[in-house]
C-alpha cells in the first residue's frame, strides 16, 4: 500500500510542475536587451510558452483614460471613432470619471460603440475611466482638454505587434551575450498569440516587440512539458 501512496505522491508533484508559472516581462519597450537582468529568468526550463498580448481581452478593445494632472476647472472631450462626448469636470477625479462614464453610456452614438465604467486602478478611489468595445472590431479613441489646465491621457490596447525573442546563455565562463532565438521573429495580426519554444541552455529570455496603436504585454510560462 505504501508503494501506491508514493506513486500517487510523485504523480501529484509532476502534475503540479506542469502548471505553468507565468511571469510578465517588466518592459515592453521596443529596444534590444542589454543587461543580464533584462527579460525573465528561465530557472533551467527546457521549454517555455510565450504570450504576446495586444488586448486585455480578445473579444473587444479596451481603453483606459486617466488624469496625470487634475484641475477642478477643466473640461474634456472623449472622442470615439470621430464622435465627441463633452465631459464637464466635477469637484474631484472620482466625480469627473463617474460623470464621464454616465455621459458616454447615455450618448446614442458612442454608447453603441463602447461601454464605459468608472473604476479604481489603485486603492478604492475611482481614478480610471475604462472603455470596452461592444464588438470585436477596433475603434479609435482620443482625448483632449478643452478648458483649464488638467491633463488627460488615453491608453488603448494595441492593434498589432512585430518582434522577436532573445535568449541569454547560461554556463559560460566569459561574459554572456544576448542573441536572437532562431525562427522567433513574427508579426501579431490577431489580438493575442500564445506558442512555445525550446529554451534549453538559456538563463533568461526577452521579447522585443513594437506594439502598434497602443500598449501590449509579454509573458512567459515556465514548467515541465513533454
**What single string gives the DSSP state of each residue in 31-87?**
----STTSSEE-TT-SEEEEEEES-SBTTB-EEEEEEEE--TT-EEEEEETTEEEEE
What's the CA gap between 69 and 18, in Å, rounded? 46
In the chain the domains, ranked by start, together with CATH numbers, are 17-54+158-222 (2.60.120), 62-156 (no CATH)
Chain mean pLDDT for the chain: 88
Strand 217-222 to 47-53 pairing: antiparallel
**What pLDDT score was predicted for residue 173?**
61
**What pLDDT score was predicted for residue 3?**
54
Q: Which of 104-113, 167-176, 217-226 has the highest mean pLDDT?
A: 104-113
pTM above 0.85, yes or no: no
Q: What are phi and psi for residue 87, nearest 5 degrees?
A: -115, 120
Q: Are residues 39 and 179 in contact, defined by beta-carbon separation less than 8 angstroms?
A: no
Which sign, positive or negative, has the C-alpha torsion 187, 192, 195, 197?
Answer: positive
pLDDT tens-digit readout, 27-45 = 888 999 999 899 999 988 8
Amino acid at each position: 500500500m505504501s508503494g501506491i501512496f508514493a506513486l500517487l505522491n510523485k504523480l501529484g508533484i509532476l502534475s503540479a510542475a506542469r502548471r505553468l508559472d507565468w511571469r510578465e516581462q517588466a518592459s515592453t519597450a521596443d529596444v534590444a536587451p542589454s543587461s543580464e537582468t533584462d527579460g525573465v529568468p528561465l530557472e533551467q526550463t527546457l521549454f517555455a510558452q510565450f504570450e504576446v498580448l495586444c488586448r486585455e481581452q480578445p473579444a473587444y478593445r479596451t481603453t483606459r483614460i486617466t488624469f496625470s494632472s487634475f484641475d477642478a476647472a477643466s473640461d474634456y472631450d472623449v472622442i470615439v471613432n470621430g464622435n465627441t462626448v463633452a465631459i464637464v469636470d466635477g469637484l474631484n477625479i472620482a466625480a469627473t470619471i463617474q460623470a464621464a462614464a454616465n455621459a458616454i453610456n447615455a450618448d446614442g452614438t458612442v454608447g453603441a460603440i463602447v461601454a464605459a465604467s468608472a473604476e479604481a486602478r489603485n486603492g478604492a478611489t475611482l481614478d480610471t475611466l475604462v472603455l470596452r468595445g461592444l464588438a470585436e472590431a477596433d475603434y479609435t479613441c482620443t482625448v483632449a482638454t478643452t478648458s483649464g489646465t488638467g491633463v488627460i491621457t488615453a491608453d488603448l490596447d494595441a492593434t498589432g505587434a512585430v518582434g522577436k525573442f532573445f535568449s541569454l546563455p547560461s554556463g559560460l565562463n566569459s561574459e554572456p551575450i544576448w542573441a536572437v532565438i532562431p525562427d522567433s521573429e513574427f508579426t501579431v495580426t490577431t489580438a493575442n498569440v500564445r506558442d512555445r519554444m525550446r529554451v534549453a541552455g538559456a538563463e533568461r529570455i526577452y521579447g522585443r516587440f513594437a506594439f502598434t496603436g497602443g500598449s501590449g504585454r509579454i509573458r512567459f510560462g515556465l514548467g515541465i512539458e513533454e
